Amino acid sequence: MALLDTQTSVLANQALFYLASGDLPPRLGNAHATVVPYQVFPAIDGHFIIACGNDAQFARLSVLLGEPDMAEDIFRRVLKPTELISYQEGSVVSRTLIDSKAGTVTLFAFDQGQGLSEHTAPYDAMVHVLEGETRITIAGEASDLKAGDMIIMPASEPHAVHGSERFKMLLIMVRG
The pTM for the full model equals 0.65
Rounded distance between C-alpha atoms, residue 110 and residue 86, angstroms: 9
CB-based contact 72:135 (threshold 8 Å): no
Rounded distance between C-alpha atoms, residue 119 and residue 10, angstroms: 23
The 10s digit of each residue's pLDDT in 66-104 is 877 777 777 767 788 898 899 988 889 988 888 888 899
Q: What are the CA-CA distances from residue 83 to residues 51, 79, 167 (Å)?
A: 20, 8, 13
Classified as helix, coil or strand, 69 is helix
The 10s digit of each residue's pLDDT in 101-139 is 889 999 999 999 999 999 999 999 999 999 999 999 999
Rounded distance between C-alpha atoms, residue 16 and residue 21, angstroms: 8
Mind listing the domains of the chain with CATH numbers?
Answer: 84-176 (2.60.120.10)
Neighbouring CB atoms inside 10 A of 155's CB total 14
Confidence of residue 1 (pLDDT cuts 50, 70, 90): low
